[in-house]
């Protein structure tokens, strides 16, 4: 089996390539926008294709990279940012996440690619759930923001294309992914716990689903070839939801540190966030976002191989901060 992985030097892409390295009977083509220090490592069964920074991804000619490819895992994307400086953020997200994805998928159809695995986002379902009522694959999509809308539009475009050309589509919607080398807000949280900073989240009793990098990669590998994955959508998580306060305690445990959780009432947190223009940040820290992964279990026989505790230990051991 020959597999093309786009965004191969991304956080998820590097982990997927490491997992597939040396797999008997599998050859991997790792597509990157430019070669650099963080580019995908090449093993005995991997080839790196450098696409270059121009032309725009919606106009890239993939023909050379797709020769003989059976399956594509599409990770390359314009990712969600909290404060987007683009004049028209939806247009910027669409250019990459919709136009770029469909440009690749159309060329896959012409090249005879059998399956297209698309990593979407749980944000297609929405931003929050009621506690005890997790998102499922059958929910009506409720995206908020340019990133989520672009991911939904890409999913819809892929399904329409699949109906026309017969290429199998598999959609995976992960929540927040963490692991060695994690960046952004999760890395900042690890840093704060490591430094022993007091965090005003001791009274937060929300429930949030996360997914360890290893668990997401596990599901991706299953979806490369499992017959029952064809034309399905799957939600993925660690299978154990945590409150923000519990997450901080688990990070501290993995670090061998002592958590400093200050019991500040949620109403005060929300009021302070409103004054500071940080409503969305506090919603992510205090709100619920749960996903139901039972479909992946019943259809694919998949279950998380790594616990939250194991995933966090790997994340803090490999984040590169002393």
Domains and CATH numbers, the chain: 2-173 (3.40.50.720)
CA distance 303 to 321: 31
Which of the four pLDDT bands, split at 50, 70 and 90, describes residue 52?
low
Global pTM?
0.93
| Residue for token pair 């969305």 | 280
Q: What is the chain's mean pLDDT, rounded? A: 91
User: Are the C-beta atoms of 316 and 250 separated by less than 8 Å?
Assistant: no
The per-residue DSSP string of 269-313 comes to HHHHHHHHT-HHHHHHHHS-B-B--HHHHHHH----SS-HHHHHH
Residues 6 or more apart whose CB falls under 8 angstroms from that of 55 comprise: none
CA distance 108 to 215: 27
Smallest CA-to-CA distance from 319 within 216, 189, 208 is with: 189
Question: How many angstroms from the chain centroid is the CA of residue 163?
Answer: 26
User: Are the C-beta atoms of 172 and 114 separated by less than 8 Å?
Assistant: no
Residues 6 or more apart whose CB falls under 8 angstroms from that of 73 comprise: 3, 4, 5, 6, 16, 117, 119, 220, 224
Phi then psi for residue 161, to 5 deg, are: -65, -40
Q: Is residue 313 flagged as an active site residue?
A: no
Read off the pLDDT of residues 161-199 as tens digits, 9 standing for 90 and up: 999 999 999 999 999 999 999 998 899 999 999 999 999
Query: How high is the pLDDT of residue 264?
Result: 94
Catalytic residue among 147, 186, 302, 313: 147
Read off the pLDDT of residues 1-46 as tens digits, 9 standing for 90 and up: 999 999 998 999 999 999 998 788 899 999 988 766 455 555 667 7
User: Are the C-beta atoms of 9 and 39 separated by less than 8 Å?
Assistant: yes
User: Are the C-beta atoms of 165 and 231 separated by less than 8 Å?
Assistant: no
Mean pLDDT of the region 53-70: 85
CA distance 155 to 176: 19
User: Is the pLDDT confidence value at 83 over 60?
Assistant: no
Structure tokens at 216: 């997401």
Query: How high is the pLDDT of residue 43?
Result: 63
Query: How high is the pLDDT of residue 109?
Result: 96
CA distance 286 to 35: 39
CA distances for 20 relative to 25, 38, 46, 161, angstroms: 10, 18, 9, 28
Smallest CA-to-CA distance from 230 within 174, 171, 173, 170 is with: 170
SS3 11: helix
CA distance 158 to 167: 9
Structure tokens at 190: 């690890």
């Amino acid at each position: 089996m020959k597999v093309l992985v786009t965004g191969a030097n991304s956080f998820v892409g590097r982990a997927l390539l490491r997992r597939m390295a040396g797999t008997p009977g599998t050859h991997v083509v790792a597509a990157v926008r430019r070669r650099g220090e963080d580019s995908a490592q090449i093993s005995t069964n991997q080839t790196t294709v450098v696409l270059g920074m121009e032309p725009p991804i919606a106009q890239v000619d993939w023909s050379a990279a797709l020769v003989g490819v059976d399956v594509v895992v599409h990770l390359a994307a314009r990712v969600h940012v909290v404060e987007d400086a683009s004049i028209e953020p939806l247009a910027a997200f669409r250019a990459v996440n919709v136009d770029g994805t469909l440009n690749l998928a159309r060329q896959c159809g012409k090249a005879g690619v059998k399956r297209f695995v698309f990593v979407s986002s749980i944000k297609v379902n929405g931003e929050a759930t009621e506690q005890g009522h997790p998102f499922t694959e059958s929910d009506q999509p409720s995206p908020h923001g340019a990133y989520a809308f672009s991911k939904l539009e890409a999913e819809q475009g892929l399904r329409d294309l699949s109906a026309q050309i017969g290429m199998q589509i598999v959609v995976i919607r992960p929540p927040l992914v963490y692991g060695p080398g994690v960046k952004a807000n999760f890395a900042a949280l690890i840093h704060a716990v490591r430094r022993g900073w007091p965090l005003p989240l001791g009274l937060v009793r929300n429930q949030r689903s996360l997914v360890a990098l290893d668990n997401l990669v596990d599901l991706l590998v299953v979806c490369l070839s499992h017959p029952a994955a064809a034309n399905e959508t799957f939600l993925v998580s660690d299978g154990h939801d945590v409150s923000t306060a519990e997450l901080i305690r688990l990070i501290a445990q993995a670090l061998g540190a002592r958590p400093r959780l200050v019991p500040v009432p949620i109403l005060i947190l929300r009021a302070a966030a409103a004054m500071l223009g940080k409503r969305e940040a506090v919603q992510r820290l205090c709100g619920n976002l749960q996903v139901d992964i039972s479909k992946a279990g019943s259809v694919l026989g998949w279950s998380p191989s790594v616990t939250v505790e194991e995933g966090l230990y790997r994340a803090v051991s490999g984040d590169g901060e002393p």
